[in-house]
Amino acid sequence: MIDSVNIARESPDTEQPWADLGLKQDEYESIKEILGRRPTSSELAMYSVMWSEHCSYKSSKVHLRQFGDKAPKTDALLVGIGENAGVVDIGDGWAVTFKVESHNHPSYVEPYQGAATGIGGIVRDIISMGARPLAVMDPLRFGAADAPDTRRVLPGVVAGIGGYGNCLGLPNIGGELVFDESYAGNPLVNALCVGSMKHEDIHLASAKGVDNLVVLYGARTGGDGIGGVSVLASETFDANGPAKRPSVQVGDPFMEKLLIEATLEVLHAGLVEGIQDLGGAGISCATSELASNGEGGMQVYLDRVLLRDASLSPEEILMSESQERMCAVVTPEKIDAFMQLCKKWEVEAVVIGEVTDTGRLVIDWYGDTIVDVPPRSVAHDGPVYERPFHRPSWQDALQADTPTGERLPRPSTPDALKHTLLDLISSPNLASKSWVTSQYDRYVLGNTILAQPEDAGMIRVDEESGLGVAISTDCNSRFAKLDPYAGAQLALVESYRNISVAGAKPLAVTNCLNFGSPEDPEVMWQFAQATTGLADACLELGIPVTGGNVSFYNQTGENAISPTPVVGVLGVINNVEHRTPMAWAGDGDLIYILGDTADEFAGSEWAHLQGHLGGLPPKVDLPAEKLLSEIMVAASHEGMITAAHDVSDGGVGVAVTEMALRANIGARFWIPENIDPFVFLFSESTARAIAVIPGTEELRFSEMCAARGMRATRFGVVDSGLGVNSGHPGEQVIVCDSQFTLTIDQLREVNEATLPALFGGEKCSAQVSESYWDQ
Amino acid sequence: MSARIGVVTFPGSLDDVDAARAIRIAGGTAVALWHGDTDLHGVDAVVLPGGFSYGDYLRCGAIAKFAPVMSLVIDKAQVGLPVLGICNGFQILCESRLLPGALTRNDHQHFICRDQRLRIESTDTPWTMDFALGQEIVIPLKNGEGGYVASEVVLDELFAENRVIATYQGENPNGSYRNVAGISNKAGNVVGLMPHPEHAVELLTGPTIDGVPFFTSVLKSLIGAP
Amino acid sequence: MARVVVNVALKPEILDPQGRAVQGALSRLGLSGVMDVRQGKQFIIDIDGELEGDRADLLEKLAGELLSNPVIEDFTLTVEN
Amino acid sequence: MARVVVNVALKPEILDPQGRAVQGALSRLGLSGVMDVRQGKQFIIDIDGELEGDRADLLEKLAGELLSNPVIEDFTLTVEN
Ligand SMILES: Nc1ncnc2c1ncn2[C@@H]1O[C@H](COP(=O)(O)OP(=O)(O)O)[C@@H](O)[C@H]1O
Ligand SMILES: [Mg+2]
């Protein structure tokens, strides 16, 4: 028997499984208060999912507010926080939208499908703004590289991201791959998508216009992703009901590709009033959000929903997280044209309801009303918690454990320095990522200007004018553990710097805040610190946060992951011809380091390799970052620079090595005066970049730096002819004066061997079960 | 007026915009063809682009060969229409039996995207006449099922008849028999190629511009045609 | 020698895009009345000697863990000794 | 209703990298005496009514042209009417 509003009125005392659905007693009471009666089972299902941490942001909201409160004044922001994704003006009538989301837990359970549907979900967020998706990125974090769990999860995650993104035809232009013990049992799979549109094509998720029709289109609704709700449907209301539903969702990238094309056609044809993707919480979320953002009322006939599995109960249909579905609001005059275009793309569509002015979201099931709620109460006015937080008891001791020379012995001989460099560039975190990235299509769509391993991914938006955007995501969670306030800022400035060295001007910020349990006051403190640090820094750098995502409960038992506020920065470049690649090209070009190097090893990759984590992270210097950014953008625009690379993990030594490997051209460099070679080569001080300047531009460049107060130190020269005199005739060589000489082949060999050695040998067995899905 | 080259879009085609761009860069006019078309709109040649037609769920290209537009392409190809199948297009041509053999899952079982060195082995087709014989080029390769397989007899015949148009240089990227990267039919007008020349037509976006001659070749060949 | 055949199929409630694509193609090509298509995998494994005891147990286990993914797939195993 | 099962396997002379990978994995995981593994596809097709006459012929034809590629694959078709 279906639990209807009438039944609920007549049976106020029916026991309901609110606790099994994750609701707290007071939350259940407030639902009863809102409705003036007990909820129906369908209403209970809706509230329980929409009021979950994941959908309601109940623990994070009070902290996330700062992103709005402290937002810098900018004309660039066309749509801000609160929509599916923020939208930024990039000039010439173009706008871009970008967002990053987590799919951590599903990817741990079923790596291939979890990661694949992570890409699918974020792409639908972007199309629901009216934008054409341009590219994806995938910040990934796993436990120790050689842990069995990492070997189980990583190949599937990578295959899933590739399998979905490649089949969808979106270039993958970057991401992250980080190994750290803190993620054992809790890998982080974040996915970012960026899209572009003309200003007039921006669309919002709102159900406007009484009598307009609500259309559900795309894949049919099946029983996936409703693990929790099946408790409700099968155990409480009908003991003989359907078996427990799988909580795993399976993606169909081909359907998503059709959905993209169909959606863009209906949007461009002017057939749509409002649009919303179906992600977490499925139809519950889409209908309540659309109604809440629009006229406030909606009538839905749930029995019209096209099903993949006829045995689904209405509660399950409301909650299903089946992938590749969208919801649009269409006027009655345009519905035929809308349906026609869906048909062209072989996408099924059905009108499931209409917009009303009743202020209620009413859902019927074969004539019975099973939901009758104020939509705002479901979608926007959920509970808000001010969770307690306090500084962890261990924080002071951790910060006091500085990696000084006495605490951690440092290499001092030339030979030891050489081996330190080799150890770093072959360590899993700094080794070549091509085992992963060669599984991703970076060429499709033909507008990829820069892609991994470049500092930023860069995409041409307008083929005529050369207008483009650059994106980077970053986070060093060790820094964030040492000091979450500074750690979030360090993630931001690294990303900001990556954009700038590529020649683009930073414009806007998105984030994916991955933390442990919000019920742990120490985790909550990390979260509060990180959000405050990020908001403060964005204000000072003048770039707004346009959106983001929070992922809590990343922990195993009592052990939370290191706080991981992944920050994505988007920049704009007027003409992609000015982009700065990381590979140097010209013999005789001069290698400069911009910025100051201090003795900063806490949380560094070198300390990590020694198994040490303690001290205070590198100093954040926002004015210096801003200046560095302006100089890098000007240098690229003025054609003074031929290559650049930011200095971060592994310091200058690793940065120049990466440039040489990318170019396959050698260089000679030296340690500047008055600095310890180890500190110069491997410290991770911020606000630094390497710039490569042709001799003809040197004067202009150094004068610009001097005039603006940026320290620019020449410390090397590109030279393809060093092999002969260093005993390696015919080879490309890097020479660090009076320290060491290494051939590029030697460096490449150790740099490229690491990931295949870890994952290549096992790739066959790991691949067996996924091969089914793999294209 | 420049020659009109059709680019077929199947549901799931991905590199169709790129193929059209490459045709324009080479100086031709790109004409969009839809999988359901029952008319080739008078095009002088056809490109079947890369992607995952119909999701490639069954076997790459297996469903696309039954598309209405394909029966026209198959008929015209048999009487000399120049057709280039790139990646998924190559798979469709094999499934359609316009070309012998088949493309199978990469031997290492991964999708692979990389800049690939090739050697041009035949300049006797309308798609390769602008190259020098033996010329080495670098263009992107990106596929999950790119291993060319055929019987020994067929392979011998392909080599003997000068119908292998390009071979992989360096490490074999996907287990292709005898390093075959591309082949033609007996008449030479139908060419299938696994790597993607349309992604090597601009220095800003490609590793090289070595892909351009595939498209200038066909434009040249069409000037000579009646 | 024993021949073991392991058939692996998606659980019925899991979306099967491949099966759906085949169903669409069969119908388009004129086969009427196709109600459902599911696409699975088949492994044909030839083994030395008889399959019994520990080896049989191990293969059964691997069929459920390696050859299929228990989260989304079911398998059947038949032995022709 | 008829249930048709079509099994598709690579021809023996065609290299089967997936089968080889499975063989390697089975051996590595301790299964001794694995002599050969081939990986194929299985289609389970549910059809309205009985499968006979034209429909049976068409399905047989499509099994050889659509569901399998005769250049590299063989198929078997069994009907449970
Ligand atoms: N960490 C964050 N910083 C800023 N905005 C956030 C953050 N987390 C979530 N938001 C914003 O809150 C809104 C709701 O988020 P979410 O539920 O992830 O969106 P969706 O419904 O599209 O999945 C979005 O506009 C999102 O950008
Ligand atoms: Mg959304």
Q: Chains that contact C by 3+ CB pairs under 8 Å?
A: A, B, D
Pair A436, A755: CB distance under 8 Å: yes
Residues 11-50 of D with CB under 8 A from A: 18, 20-22, 24-25, 28-29
Structure confidence at residue A380 (pLDDT): 87
Q: State the catalytic residue, choosing from A54, A203, A578, A645.
A: A54
Could you give the CA distance from residue A78 to residue A95 in angstroms, rounded to a whole number?
A: 8
Give B 45-104 residues with CB within 8 A of chain A: 50-52, 54-57, 60
Q: D28 to chain C: which residues are within 8 Å by CB? A: none
Given a contact cutoff of 8 angstroms between Cβ atoms, the answer to whether C21 and A254 are in contact is yes
How far apart are alpha carbons A719 and A716 in whole angstroms?
9
User: What element of type H or E holds B84?
Assistant: strand B83-86
- Beta-bridged to residue A566, according to DSSP, are A512
Q: What is the dihedral of CA A79, A81, A84, A85, to 10 degrees?
A: 60
Rg (CA), chain C: 16
Q: Which ligand is nearest to the CA of A278?
A: 2
Enter the ipTM. Answer: 0.89
Tokens of A88: 């930024």
Question: Which chains contact B through at least 3 pairs of Cβ atoms less than 8 Å apart?
Answer: A, C, D
Q: Domains in chain B, start-ordered, CATH in brackets?
A: 4-223 (3.40.50.880)
Give the three-class secondary structure for A569. strand
Chain C CB within 8 Å of residue A390 CB: no
Residues 6+ apart with CB under 8 A from A167: A253, A254, A257, A775, B12, B52, B55, B56
Q: How many Å apart are CA A581 and CA B203, to the nearest integer?
A: 13
Is residue A380 part of the annotated active site? The answer reads: no
pLDDT attached to residue A412:
92
Which residue is closest in CA terms to ligand 1's atom 7?
A548
Residues whose CB falls within 8 Å of the CB of residue A484, separated by 6 or more in sequence, listed in order = A525, A526, A527, A529, A530, A533, A563, A565
pLDDT for residue C12 is more than 90: no
Name the pairing type of β-strands A667-669 and A733-736.
parallel
> Is D31 within 8 Å of C62 when comparing Cβ atoms?
yes
Amino acid sitting at position A472: S
Q: Which residues sit opposite A81 in a β-bridge?
A: A83
Q: Which residue of B has its CA nearest to C37?
A: B58
Q: Rounded to an integer, what distance in angstroms lies between the CA atom of residue A57 and that of residue A60? A: 5
Instruction: Pick from B17, B54, B110 the residue to mutate for testing the A interface (most A CBs within 10 Å).
Output: B110
Q: Which amino acid is at B221?
A: S
Q: For residues A505 and A633, what is the distance between their CA atoms, to the nearest angstrom?
A: 6
Which numbered atom of ligand 1 lies nearest the CA of A513?
Answer: 1
Instruction: State residue D68's pLDDT score.
Output: 94
Catalytic residues of B, by residue number, are 87, 196, 198
Total domains in chain D come to 1
What is the per-residue pLDDT for A557? Answer: 85
* Strand (E) or helix (H) holding C74: strand C73-80
Hey, which chains touch A, using 3+ CB pairs under 8 Å? B, C, D
Q: Which of A166, A254, A443 sits opposite B111 (nearest CB)?
A: A166
- Which CATH number belongs to the domain containing residue C10 in this structure? 3.30.1280.10
Residue of A303, A248, A278 lying closest to A42 (CA atoms): A303
> At which residue do the structure tokens 């170019």 appear?
A663
Q: Report CA(A79)–ligand 2 centroid distance (Å).
A: 14
Closest-CA residue in chain A for D26?
A765
The two structure tokens encoding residue D44: 């389970």
- Alpha-helical runs (H) found in A664-758: 677-682, 698-708, 744-755
User: Once rounded to an integer, what is the mean pLDDT over residues B32-47?
Assistant: 96
pLDDT at site A586: 87
Query: What DSSP state is assigned to residue A221?
Result: B
Q: Which residues contact A21 (CB under 8 A, 6 or more apart)?
A: A44, A45, A48, A228, A229, A231, A232
Q: What is the pLDDT of residue A243?
A: 43
Nearest Cα of chain D lies from the Cα of B155 at a distance, in angstroms, of 13
CA torsion angle A610 A616 A618 A620 (round to 10): 160
- What distance in Å separates the CA atoms of residue A473 and residue A496, rounded to the nearest whole number? 9
A50 C-alpha to ligand 1 centroid (Å): 13
Q: Which of D38, D44, D57 is CA-nearest to residue D7?
A: D44
Q: Which of residues 15-34 of D touch C (CB under 8 A)?
A: 19, 22, 25-26, 29-34
Are D41 and C36 within 8 A, CB to CB? Answer: no
The pLDDT value recorded for residue A772 is 27
Instruction: State pTM to two decimals.
Output: 0.92
State how far the Cα of C17 lies from the Cα of B57, in Å rounded to an integer: 7
Q: Counting ligands in written order, which one lies closest to the CA of residue A70?
A: 1
pLDDT of res. B225 = 57
Q: How far is the CA of A56 from the centre of ligand 1 (A)?
A: 9
| Dist CA A306 CA A285 (whole Å) | 18
User: Mean pLDDT for each 10-residue chunk of chain A (775 residues)?
Assistant: 92 90 92 96 92 90 94 86 85 95 90 94 93 97 96 95 96 98 96 96 84 94 67 39 58 93 94 89 89 87 93 90 93 97 95 94 96 92 94 97 95 96 98 96 97 97 97 98 98 98 97 96 98 98 94 91 98 97 95 98 97 98 98 96 97 98 97 96 98 97 97 97 91 95 97 94 34 28
Give residue-wise pLDDT tens across range B175-225: 999 999 999 999 999 999 999 999 999 999 999 999 999 999 999 999 865
> What are A358's two structure tokens?
């009743």
**Closest residue in chain C to residue B57, using alpha carbons only:** C18
In degrees, rounded to 5, the angle at the alpha carbon of residue A331 between the alpha carbons of residues A328 and A332 is 120
Nearest of A203, A172, A195 to residue A94 by alpha carbon: A195
Contact C72/A110, CB-based, under 8 Å? yes
C55 pLDDT exceeds 70?
yes
With CB atoms and an 8 Å threshold, state whether C25 touches B63.
Answer: yes
User: C68 vs A246: CB contact, 8 Å cut-off?
Assistant: no
Chain-chain contact of C21 with B57 (C-beta, under 8 angstroms): yes
Q: Which of C34, C49, C58 sits opposite D45 (nearest CB)?
A: C34
Interface contact flag, A222 C41, Cβ < 8 Å? no
Burial of A768 (0-12, 13-18, 19+ CB in 10 A): buried
Which of the ligands is closest to the CA of residue A49?
1
- Domain that includes residue C14, residue range: 2-80
Instruction: Determine the Cα angle at A555 with ends A553 and A561, to 5°.
Output: 105
